[in-house]
Amino acid sequence: MTKEMFKALGTVILDGATGSNLMKAGMPRGVCAESWILEHPEAILRLQRCYAEAGSQIVYAPTFTASEPYLAQHGLGERLEEINSRLVALTREAVGEKVYVAGDMTTVGKPELSYEYLLEVYTRQAEALKEAGVDLYVIETMMGLEETMAALEACRMVSDLPVMCSFSVTSDGMLYFGGSIYDAAPQLEGFGADAVGINCSCGPDQMGAVVHVLAKSLTIPVIAKPNAGMPNIDDLGNAVYSMAPAEFAKGMLELKKAGASILGGCCGTDPDYIRALREVL
């Protein structure tokens, strides 16, 4: 996908959650998600086919934590290129050629890491994803500006594919590693991001004010990929999301009115939520 093609998409429907749905399909807590997916490919194939059928135009490959620091914890750091390649291939098999496949990258989770180290980590995964044939990159659930800049620079160094960046933020738009999304988003646009926004964090009903401010301050598309509301924790320690698909979709329509044009779901959502979103749009 070229940058021009990305700009021409207009309103875009993303996919919904991956991890919470894989756990429903039997993935235990605490395992290496990438290994589990490769050992149980039918789970991701079924989920992503359902997203494509529900209306997703961009589906995220399950490479969220397929970077060296995470894989090394499970003794898989040397297999990074192979693992990213196989995960992207599974998504391509699931959605075909009419749906775009995004290479998914995320926070390393440690604010004290140097920019040079982060750039090295993200460059290796970005290169692997490019070689695997992704259509674009998504840098998501980010906690701070510096790590996001490093990931964006890595993508820019290895490819001219479009790059979407989204943060997890507090209800007032603050970043967990310091600063605010209001300051970070324009800097990312200036650094070459093709879309900026929010994912996870909260439900669509709590995201409107942040989206509205971002839409006023940016000339690139704004991403909104919220959870299915705020979770309750059951007696077994599981997060339970109570927002139904119709309510979620109604909230997403309000986010579109607030200025978001790249829309999807995060924790607690599934293909029914994406189908409801498509219907209200």
Q: Sign (positive/negative) of CA torsion 121, 123, 126, 132? A: negative
Are the C-beta atoms of 172 and 125 separated by less than 8 Å?
Answer: no
Q: pLDDT value at position 123? A: 98
Give the separation between CA 148 and CA 200, rounded to whole angstroms. Answer: 16
Q: Which domain holds residue 107?
A: 3-280
Identify the pLDDT of residue 54. 98
Nearest-angstrom CA–CA distance, 101 and 137: 9
In 195-205, which positions are buried (b, 16+ CB within 10 angstroms) versus exposed (e)? Answer: bbbbbbbbbbb
Q: Strand 163-167 vs strand 232-233: parallel, antiparallel, or unpaired? A: unpaired
Angle subtended by helix axes 245-258 and 271-280, to nearest 10: 50
Q: What is the pTM of this model?
A: 0.95
pLDDT tens for 126-167 read 999 999 999 999 999 999 999 999 999 999 999 999 999 999
Query: What does the mean pLDDT of the chain come to?
Result: 96
Position 236 scores a pLDDT of 64
User: Helices 208-217 and 181-190: crossing angle, nearest 10°?
Assistant: 40
Band of pLDDT at residue 45, cut at 50, 70 and 90:
very high
Helix (H, G, I), strand (E, B) or coil at 224: strand
Beta sheet of 195-200, edge-to-edge order = 12-13, 262-263, 222-226, 195-200, 163-167, 136-142, 100-106, 58-60
Number of structural domains found in the chain: 1
CATH number of domain containing 194: 3.20.20.330
What pLDDT does 233 receive? 72
Q: How far apart are CA 173 and CA 247, in angstroms?
A: 23
**3-class DSSP state of 52:** helix
Percent of the chain at pLDDT > 90 equals 93
- Amino acid letter at 69? P
The pLDDT, as a whole number, for residue 235 is 67
pLDDT (average), residues 44-50: 98
pLDDT at 171: 83
Q: Show the tokens assigned to 174.
A: 């603050």
Q: Mean per-residue pLDDT for 21-33? A: 93
Contact 199, 260 (CB under 8 A): no
Rounded Cα–Cα distance for residues 22 and 26 (Å) = 6
Tokens describing residue 244: 């139904």
**What pLDDT shows up at residue 229?**
82
CA 74 vs. chain centroid, Å, equals 23
Nearest to 47 by CA among 32, 26, 67: 26
Q: How far is CA 101 from the centre of its chain?
A: 12
Side-chain half-sphere exposure of 219, counting CA atoms within 13 A:
4
Local confidence band at 2 (pLDDT 50, 70, 90 cut-offs) = very high
Per-residue pLDDT tens over the stretch 187-238? 999 999 999 999 998 999 999 999 999 999 999 999 999 999 877 777 666 7
In the prediction, which pLDDT does 240 show?
A: 76
